[in-house]
Chain A
Amino acid sequence: MLRYIASRLLVLVPTVLGIVLLAFFLVRQLHGDAVEARSGERGITAEQLAERRHALGLDRPLYEQFGAYLGQLMQGDLGKSYVTQRPVIDEFLELFPATIELSIVAMIFAVVIGLPAGILAALTRGSVLDHGVMGAALAGYSMPIFWWAILLIVLFSNILGLTPVSGRLDVLYYIEPTTGFMLIDTLLSDEPESFWSALRHLILPSVVLGTIPLAVIARMTRSAMLEVLGEDYIRTARAKGLSPFRVVWVHALRNALIPVITVIGLQVGTLLAGAVLTETIFSWPGVGKWLIDAIGRRDFPAVQGGILLIAVTIIAVNLAVDLLYGLINPRIRHQK
């Protein structure tokens, strides 16, 4: 197993290097730079611009800049944001918990509804319920989530007034960030009732973000269940007179879950991509929105560092899912 993990990690080295390279050169192809993007109508003189670019090292040859950047990275330094002058890693870590929290809650929402819905559809195959669930799943899968978000905000926040419009917590609560996860921080604080406020703020964004994973999970669960229910050992179990409940919920589900877990793992990338849109619409202070803003502001260190950190996160999660899959289903490992 250890050797397997090591070999998997080794394969990742060129990938990570590739990402560093891609991010670095992509960023330097952007039109304009941070210095220009900052100045207003007044603009900036050519001399001032040259001076600033020199101070930032932007006038050096690309390979030199890249060498310096690699050297920095080796020491674990991602550089400082051009705009705020703060270390990129600090900004990222400050915002990342918000993205993770949103993603996790969205995933919980997707699994809690998607899994039972898929099982139900499989068990009632061909019924109205099955068609309804699958139709809804397909619609969810086809949803332009930025539009979906607008509809939900109008309905639940504006018309019904049930959910807050944006943000992570009612601003009148003063919570010191300890973990950065609002649900945990509120419970640790001296105002634990603010937990409910944090939760209410999470509802709409996580529903929006969870919609597509929910649809995928429901569809996947249904087909995995159908496949397993058709297998010989299930027929045998049924023939032996095991209770239908036991057959479905213990024997079938356990095996059907294997592909479903993989799919859940693979949805992490989708979630982070969706987070970009969701965070933008809900003014959610996460890394997706931050990165989009950074691209707009031509904040090179922030863009490079942010892309690298997000990519590494996704790679790590995918690896973890693969390994987990290998644990659940040893056949996979032997095949390799």
Chain B
Amino acid sequence: MTTTTDSAGTGHHPSPLAAFWRDFRRNRGALGGLVFIVIVALAALLAPVVAPHLPDVQDRNAFLVPPVWVAGGDWRYILGTDDVGRDILSRIIWGARLSLSIGAIVVTLSLAIGVLLGLLAGFLGGLFDQGIMRLMDVLMALPSLLLAVAIVAVLGPSLANAMIAIAIVVLPHYVRLTRATVLTELAKDYVTASRIAGAGLWRMMVIVVLPNCLAPLIVQASLGFSSAILDAAALGFLGLGAQPPTPEWGTMLADAKKFVQSGQWWVVTFPGLAILLTVLAFNLLGDGLRDALDPKLKER
């Protein structure tokens, strides 16, 4: 840690991006996470090519085939099949598309709305600020999953509605983060200076203050990716997320739950493993990003 700052201080100044990459590369876990995410992303992108089968094709002669390395396994179905003869590996690969999209959409949605509300609250202050913050308090006071379940119950169970529910539930984090940064920045001289220079409200928000909030927001967003995937899987597990036959991992697990007692462990194991590894990868990445982007936040 100390060595890094030293080397940055002496000699030439590397560009911020290069400095970031140098710091990030040092973190093996984060690098591993990134590599895994890239692999999952590629698999998701190339699912039609990579996956041995279509996710919803049922082989009526191959119900509940175990994985290849177990007696009775079949090379056509490397991780086995489910109760209607669908290839589990293919469903997990296609499911990666969903999980990554869930993460991306939820984060984009909550980031966009959260940052906007946070900026407005910070800049406008007064009643607007009070209103927004009390609303966020209300959302924060409810257990996230419970609130998400209630929202989905209102909107109807579907993947899209589950994503909306999760985006609403995580909103307060972004709003609070942005607002806090705005308030800190507003107190600084350069803001006062540009204000005196006659910069408009929007210009101030977008060009002057926002870039300074970026680092913590990026970190929050990368961690938000993993929590979005987890929450969507939890809703799917409760039967409130993606609806079958969609190969969403949590929904697959909910569907497979009933095989726990009858010995078909593979139906239950692999979707859960996929969730765990993907979420783990995003968390590793998030940790690495935080360390590299924002030494102040390190290890928090």
Q: Do any CB atoms of chain A lie under 8 A from CB atoms of chain B in the complex? A: yes
Seen from chain A, the residues whose Cβ lies within 8 Å of a Cβ on chain B are 14-15, 18-19, 22, 26-27, 29-31, 135, 138-139, 141-144, 146-148, 150-151, 153-154, 158, 219, 222-223, 226-227, 269-270, 272-277, 280, 288, 291-292, 295-296, 303, 307, 310-312, 314-315
When A143-B276, A146-B234, A150-B268 are in contact, do A14 and B134 touch as well, CB less than 8 Å? Answer: yes
Q: Are A15 and B234 in contact (CB under 8 A)?
A: no
Closest-CB distance, A77 to chain B (whole angstroms): 22
Q: Are A144 and B149 in contact (CB under 8 A)?
A: no
Q: How far apart are the CA atoms of A29 and B146 in the complex, in Å?
A: 16
User: Does B65 touch A at the CB level, under 8 Å?
Assistant: no
Q: Are A144 and B275 in contact (CB under 8 A)?
A: yes
Nearest-neighbor residue (CB-CB) of A18 within chain B: B138
Q: Are B149 and A139 in contact (CB under 8 A)?
A: no
Seen from chain B, the residues whose Cβ lies within 8 Å of a Cβ on chain A are 29, 134-135, 137-138, 140-146, 149-151, 153-154, 156, 226, 230, 233-234, 237-238, 250, 253, 257, 260-261, 265, 268-269, 271-272, 275-276, 279-280, 282-284, 287, 298-300
Closest 6 CB pairs of A and B: A147-B272, A223-B299, A273-B143, A18-B138, A142-B279, A142-B280
Q: Which of A22, A27, A139 contacts B280 (CB 8 A)?
A: A139
Q: Are A303 and B299 in contact (CB under 8 A)?
A: no
Closest-CB distance, A15 to chain B (whole angstroms): 4
Q: Are B280 and A18 in contact (CB under 8 A)?
A: no
Query: What are some 20 contacts across the A-B interface (CB < 8 A)?
Result: A15-B134, A15-B138, A18-B134, A26-B151, A30-B154, A31-B154, A138-B29, A141-B283, A142-B226, A142-B276, A142-B282, A143-B276, A144-B233, A144-B275, A147-B275, A150-B272, A219-B299, A269-B140, A273-B146, A295-B153
Q: How far apart are the CA atoms of A296 and B149 in the complex, in Å?
A: 10
Q: How far apart are the CA atoms of A14 and B141 in the complex, in Å?
A: 12
Q: Are B276 and A147 in contact (CB under 8 A)?
A: yes
Closest-CB distance, A67 to chain B (whole angstroms): 20
When A and B form their complex, what is the total count of cross-chain residue pairs whose Cβ atoms lie within 8 Å?
126
Nearest-neighbor residue (CB-CB) of A122 within chain B: B299
When A144-B279, A154-B265 are in contact, do A26 and B150 touch as well, CB less than 8 Å? Answer: yes
Which B residues are CB-close (under 8 A) to A227?
299
Q: Are B143 and A314 in contact (CB under 8 A)?
A: yes
Nearest-neighbor residue (CB-CB) of A223 within chain B: B299
Q: How far apart are the CA atoms of A272 and B140 in the complex, in Å?
A: 12
Q: How far apart are the CA atoms of A29 and B233 in the complex, in Å?
A: 24
Which B residues are CB-close (under 8 A) to A146?
233-234, 237, 250, 253
Closest-CB distance, B39 to chain A (whole angstroms): 17
Q: How far apart are the CA atoms of A30 and B240 in the complex, in Å?
A: 14
Q: How far apart are the CA atoms of A59 and B149 in the complex, in Å?
A: 26
Q: Are B260 and A291 in contact (CB under 8 A)?
A: no
Q: How far apart are the CA atoms of A19 and B140 in the complex, in Å?
A: 10
Q: How far apart are the CA atoms of A14 and B137 in the complex, in Å?
A: 9
Q: Which of B138, B150, B250 contacts A303 (CB 8 A)?
A: B150
Which B residues are CB-close (under 8 A) to A15?
134, 137-138, 141
Closest-CB distance, B240 to chain A (whole angstroms): 9
Closest-CB distance, A20 to chain B (whole angstroms): 10
Q: Are A29 and B141 in contact (CB under 8 A)?
A: no
Q: How far apart are the CA atoms of A307 and B147 in the complex, in Å?
A: 9
Q: Are A144 and B141 in contact (CB under 8 A)?
A: no
Q: How far apart are the CA atoms of A150 and B258 in the complex, in Å?
A: 11
Q: How far apart are the CA atoms of A291 and B234 in the complex, in Å?
A: 16
Which B residues are CB-close (under 8 A) to A295?
149-150, 153
Q: Are B144 and A273 in contact (CB under 8 A)?
A: yes
Q: How far apart are the CA atoms of A272 and B300 in the complex, in Å?
A: 23
Closest-CB distance, A286 to chain B (whole angstroms): 12
Which B residues are CB-close (under 8 A) to A303?
150
Which A residues are CB-close (under 8 A) to B234?
144, 146, 277
When A139-B276, A144-B233, A147-B272 are in contact, do A307 and B142 touch as well, CB less than 8 Å? Answer: yes
Which A residues are CB-close (under 8 A) to B237?
144, 146, 277
Which B residues are CB-close (under 8 A) to A277?
145, 234, 237-238
Nearest-neighbor residue (CB-CB) of A307 within chain B: B142
Closest-CB distance, A99 to chain B (whole angstroms): 11
